[in-house]
Amino acid sequence: MAIIKPFKGLRPPKNIAQKVASRPYDVLNSDEARVEAAGNQYSLLRIIKPEIEFPAGTDEHSPEVYEKAVEMFKLFQQEKWLVQDPKDCLYIYAQTMNGRTQYGLVACASVDDYLNNVIKKHELTRADKEEDRMKHVRNTNANVEPVFFAYPAVEKIDAIVSEIVTSKPAEYDFVAEDGFGHHFWVIDNEETIQQLVELFAKIPSTYVADGHHRTAAAALVGAEKRKLNPNYNGNEEFNYFLAVHFPDNQLQIIDYNRVVKDLNGLDKTGLIEKLSEDFVVEKMGAEIFKPDNLHTFSMYIDGEWYKMVAKPGRFNDNDPIGVLDVTILSNLVLDKILEIKDLRTDKRIDFVGGIRGLGELKKRVDSGEMKVAFALYPVSMKQLIDIADSGNIMPPKTTWFEPKLRSGLVIHKLD
């Protein structure tokens, strides 16, 4: 059963919350972070991307960069740009995109739940990326950025959240430069907190939606701290980490598409001929064609869009992994025809999050950088949960959640 815990959040004062809040560390590179934080001393990027305090080209994994994160974190607290709440609270963090709002409950998740697989994963993590985030957590002694969890929706939880957001104004309420709205409420009523904790205790599992590396790092640092404190009692803050929990029925997964550098020695006619063995291929013309159904793909090549529908019998509907469109495309096109065997390491393929639109696929092919693009119909939350429940792992770059959580609205300290 899922454990959540209230905590004394470290938060920015209302008047600078929008300036502190930043995009997560892993959606922008060092140069982009430098540009985004320029002229804004309050930007959390100075803590989560501390290499921006050094000359361009500085190794972001060097010891002095991690030390700079600690220095900046201390500075933000000294300057009262981050102030700790006096009592344990839960929080609501809502996001609005394209007129839709999703409401998440900010709470600490349990290290034990991660280790015992109550918190379920659907992606493999890379040791180097885990270690990078573990260093950040160890050095700052805090979960500076939250992770993004889903849980099976519960009407009573929805009702409590709805009552809070309609009965009092948000503590923070702003539209970020990307046009997405961010809204934040503090839950400090002990009775309400207890109700929510008890309701979560009846939920069998929660699911990592976005932030597998941050989740692993947070849980592993918690486990490390237990070894260093053999007399720990389980109530210490290091037994918990920062997560925003969203009901599954409010979340939307966006498509995650593929662009490929070459046709593995084929010309366009040869490619279409080979594709026709496993797909019904139909020319759609110059207008962008977006897949409108499962097992339907679009391909862009030489200025034209094509619709590809996987033929019956070419995939296994009873296999939670085999039925995924990313698996069908990988098996029948990327591997079989283009000989791209490992999506994680092959340099001939790149991935484009659907938030960038199919125009981005067209642009990268038209520029000559890529030869062909494939767009997919997005995975559903039900598919994600089925896969996590069955202990399976999704292929790389399957899910793209948007909007991303802003970092810096609340931080969890481990001491």
Residue 294 Rama label (left phi>0; alpha psi -120 to 50; beta): beta
Query: What is the pTM assigned to this prediction?
Result: 0.91
Q: Are 270 and 371 in contact (CB under 8 A)?
A: no
CA–CA distance, 69 with 136 (Å, rounded to integer): 8
Q: Report how far apart the first and last C-alpha atoms of the chain are (Å, whole number).
A: 25
- C-alpha neighbours within 13 Å on the C-beta side of residue 151: 29
Pairing mode, if any, of strands 147-151 and 240-247? parallel
Strand partners, 281: 308
Helices 155-167, 190-200: inter-axial angle, 10-degree rounding: 150
- Architecture in CATH of 256-377: 2-Layer Sandwich (3.30)
Q: Which residues contact 242 (CB under 8 A, 6 or more apart)?
A: 7, 106, 108, 109, 143, 145, 146, 147, 218, 410, 411, 412
pLDDT per residue, tens digit, the chain (415 aa), is 999 999 999 999 999 999 999 999 998 999 999 999 999 999 999 999 999 999 999 999 999 999 999 999 999 999 999 999 999 999 999 999 999 999 999 999 999 999 999 999 998 888 899 999 999 999 999 999 999 999 999 999 999 999 999 999 999 999 999 899 999 999 999 999 999 999 999 999 999 999 999 999 999 999 999 999 999 999 999 999 999 999 999 999 999 999 999 999 999 999 999 999 999 999 999 999 999 999 999 999 999 999 999 999 999 888 889 999 999 999 999 999 999 999 888 999 999 987 788 999 999 999 999 999 999 999 999 999 999 999 998 888 899 899 999 999 999 999 9
Domain ranges for the chain, please list them.
4-252+402-413, 256-377
Give the torsion sign (CA, 264, 269, 275, 281).
positive
